[in-house]
Amino acid sequence: MPVNDHIRNKVSQLPHKPGVYLMKDRFGTVIYVGKARDLRRRVSQYFHPSRRHSWDLKLLALIDAIHDFDTHNVKSEADALLLEGKLIKEFKPRYNVSFRDDKRFLLLKINLRDPIPRFTLTRIKQDDDCRYFGPFASSGAIRRTLTNVRKKFSLRGCRPLTPTEQDYKHCLYAHIKCCTAPCIGNVTRDDYLKQVEAACEFLDGQSKEMESELEEQMKKAAAKLDFEQAAELRDMLADLRSSTKKRGRYDRLPPKLPVAIKPNEDLIELANELKLDQPPSRIEGFDISNISGTFAVASMVSFKDGRPDRSSYRRFRMKSVVGQDDFACMAETVRRRYSRLKKEAEAKESSPARETEETEEETSTPVPESVPSNMPKLILIDGGKGQLSAALAELKKLGLARIPIIGLAKEFEEIYLPNESIPLRLSHHSGALKLLQRVRDESHRFANTYNAQLRLKKISESLLDEFPGMGTTRKTALLKHFGSVQKLKLASVDEIATVPGFGGKTSEKLKAFLVARTALPPGQNTSAD
């Protein structure tokens, strides 16, 4: 496919700066995410005539599918790598292989509430009042930098939560003077915390002094023709600059969800196919997500004028459904969603202004039942007849059966209509079907994301992974016995000792560990203002 004028103009306006680019097909779906040190040079390579003669069939297929692209500028190549990984996990493009798993970049973590705080590496940032640094694009660089930070600020690197004299006997860090050994009282906890705070400031970017020292030592080694030492110092300097460089924060993804090229035309076509009075300006899509009956959740996404309206998205955790029952889950979700909207509409109708208006202008003619204005113009259910029937039954109970509702089954992309035994099949090239697929896929993604968040919270909500010697078997036994980490925190030492794999000493250490994690940070006052 020749390069169109739209793509050619966009490429000519790209800056020579680092960033990420998102290749999209003609339906607006992201099919590839890449990073670049120079956006214009990298993106223009895809549309060079020589690429048409490439032996790589996957690359040729990607180039043929590109209809448009988006770019986002960042400050550095490392930032581009971090954002690229986040975008790939969000959109899961068809032509990307790397970063599609759930593995994340490394973070540095320290808990100042520990008796003797220490830096640890983690990949998950939790809401636990700990300090986090990163993420870091190079795991090797941050590991080597952490080693140098421990040496520079005399910090411990041992694993025990509260090191004792017995640990000190076998501790190389203290014997080679890399640690001030607070475990045996060489320094007070307050003095040790000052060392930790200095290290935190260093990781926050206050590292110019050390950079200057390393650079000076490197030049001296090179002047003495000690090139091996100079190369080692050069690598240390590069790792330091890489680890302490300010990173962009991408907690909220910059790109909007990909949309159709011509959403208005798709809406008109959809209205014609479904025989609607007018194009559905607002579509709400529902999907259910659960794994073997656990963490049963539902999602509701909203599309306004054919485009995602993320501020109106809603998610539901099932309250009345027991076990794995998608029909019951769909019924509960629809009931909760539209009973709430109906109450809001009724409250608005019964406002004082409305009552006054009706008093002044009374009429004996009955007003026909109409759909409230805050209701969607079309409801899309992810599923076939069963899910559609369950949702329709709830709408009838609420007196909202006049809202158009359909079901979209995945296997053959069949559209199920109320009171119709034969499903509607549209061409796979139809813009109307593509619009419904985007709504369905977005509701599916949103539901799965919420389910994954709950599962991740259940697995990693605990601090047990940080307890020295805590393996999967022990962690599972504790959670199975107490149900949650919150209940475990309330348990006594004797109660913890009843769990298989925990003796008297281990249970005492675990209790001390949990108490330290729930204690207030140093200097924080518990009294009310």
Residue 334 and residue 391: Cα distance in Å, rounded?
A: 6
Q: Which whole number is the average pLDDT over 233-262?
A: 58
Would strands 68-73 and 120-122 be described as parallel, antiparallel, or unpaired? unpaired
CA-wise closest residue to 250 among 121, 74, 70: 74
Structural domains of the chain, with CATH: 5-91 (3.40.1440.10), 107-244 (no CATH), 263-354+372-440 (3.30.420.340), 461-518 (1.10.150.20)
Q: Using pLDDT thresholds of 50, 70 and 90, give the confidence band for residue 458.
A: low
Q: CA 14 to CA 487: how far, in whole Å? A: 55
Q: Predicted confidence band at 241 (pLDDT cuts at 50, 70, 90)?
A: low
List C-alpha distances in Å: 110 to 52, 242, 246, 264.
52, 20, 19, 52
| Rg of the chain (C-alpha set) | 30
- pLDDT for residue 334 is more than 90: yes
Q: Which of 194, 309, 196 is nearest to 263 (CA)?
A: 309
Better-scored residue on pLDDT, 108 or 245: 108
pLDDT of 247 above 60: no
Give pLDDT, residue 360.
39
HSE-up of residue 369 (Cα within 13 Å, Cβ side): 8
Tell me the C-alpha distance between 115 and 111, whole Å.
9
**In Å, what is the CA distance from 242 to each residue of 207, 239, 247, 523?**
11, 5, 10, 33
- Left, alpha or beta for 181 (phi > 0: left; psi -120 to 50: alpha)? left
In sequence order, which residues have a C-beta less than 8 Å from that of residue 202 and are 6 or more positions away? 149, 152, 153, 210, 244
What pLDDT shows up at residue 330? 93
Q: How many CB atoms lie within 10 A of CB 260?
A: 19
Residue 196 has pLDDT above 90, yes or no: no
Q: What are phi and psi of 400, to 5 degrees?
A: -120, 30
Query: Higher-confidence residue: 151 or 356?
Result: 151
d(CA 494, CA 14): 66
Residue 66 sits at the vertex; the CA angle it makes with 62 and 71, to the nearest 5 degrees, is 110
**What is the per-residue pLDDT for 361?**
42
Dihedral class, residue 205 (left if φ above 0, else alpha if ψ from -120 to 50, else beta): left
256 contact partners, CB below 8 Å, separation of at least 6: 308
In whole angstroms, what is the distance from residue 478 CA to residue 483 CA?
Answer: 8
Rounded Cα distance between 451 and 333, Å, is: 15
Alpha-carbon torsion angle 12, 16, 18, 23, nearest 10: 10
List the one residue out of 401, 424, 399 whose CA is nearest residue 413: 424
Residue type, 216: E
DSSP, collapsed to helix, strand or coil, labels residue 327 as: helix
The pLDDT of 381-407, averaged and rounded, is 92
Question: What is the rounded distance in angstroms from the CA atom of residue 481 to the CA atom of residue 449?
Answer: 28
| Cβ atoms of 277 and 270 closer than 8 Å | no
Flag whether pLDDT at 365 surpasses 60: no
Res 209: pLDDT: 65
For the chain, give the mean pLDDT.
Answer: 79
The pLDDT value recorded for residue 297 is: 87
Please list the residues that pair with 291 across neighbouring strands. Answer: 294
Closest CA to 296 of 327, 328, 329: 329
Q: What is the 3-state secondary structure (H, E, C) of 307-357?
A: EECHHHCEEEECCCCCCCCHHHHHHHHHHHHHHHHHHHHHHHHCCHHHHHH
Residue type, 159: R
Take residue 30 and report the two structure tokens written for it.
């992201």
Grouping H, G, I as helix, E, B as strand and the rest as coil, residue 366 is coil
Using the predicted structure, report yes or no on whether residue 499 has a pLDDT greater than 80: yes
Please tell me the predicted confidence (pLDDT) of residue 294.
65
Q: Name the pairing type of β-strands 414-416 and 405-409.
A: antiparallel
> Is residue 359 pLDDT above 60, yes or no?
no
Buried b (16+ CB within 10 A) or exposed e, 477-488: ebbebbeebeeb
At 279 the pLDDT is: 93
More confident of the two residues 462 and 296: 296
Could you tell me whether strands 378-382 and 405-409 are parallel, antiparallel, or unpaired per DSSP bridges? parallel
- At 51-66, the pLDDT tens digits run 666 677 888 888 888 8
Q: Minimum mean pLDDT among 8-22, 32-46, 317-331, 514-528: which range?
A: 514-528
**Residue 363 and residue 268 in contact, taking contact as beta carbons nearer than 8 Å:** no
Whether 117 contacts 198, CB under 8 Å:
no
Predicted local confidence at residue 222, as pLDDT: 83
Query: How much is the average pLDDT of 419-441?
Result: 87
Highest mean pLDDT among 67-81, 249-263, 306-320 belongs to 306-320
Give mean pLDDT, residues 109-114: 83
pLDDT band (50, 70, 90) for residue 3: low
Residue 375 has a pLDDT of 93
Q: Are 369 and 425 in contact (CB under 8 A)?
A: no
Distance of CA 161 to the CA centre of its chain: 30
Report residue 327 CA to chain centroid gap.
28
| Residue matched to tokens 């005399």 | 154
Tokens of 324: 């794995």
* Percentage of the chain lying above the pLDDT 90 cut: 20
Say whether the peptide bond before residue 18 is cis (omega within 30 degrees of 0).
Answer: no
Task: Give start and end residues of each alpha helix (H) in 99-164.
Answer: 139-153
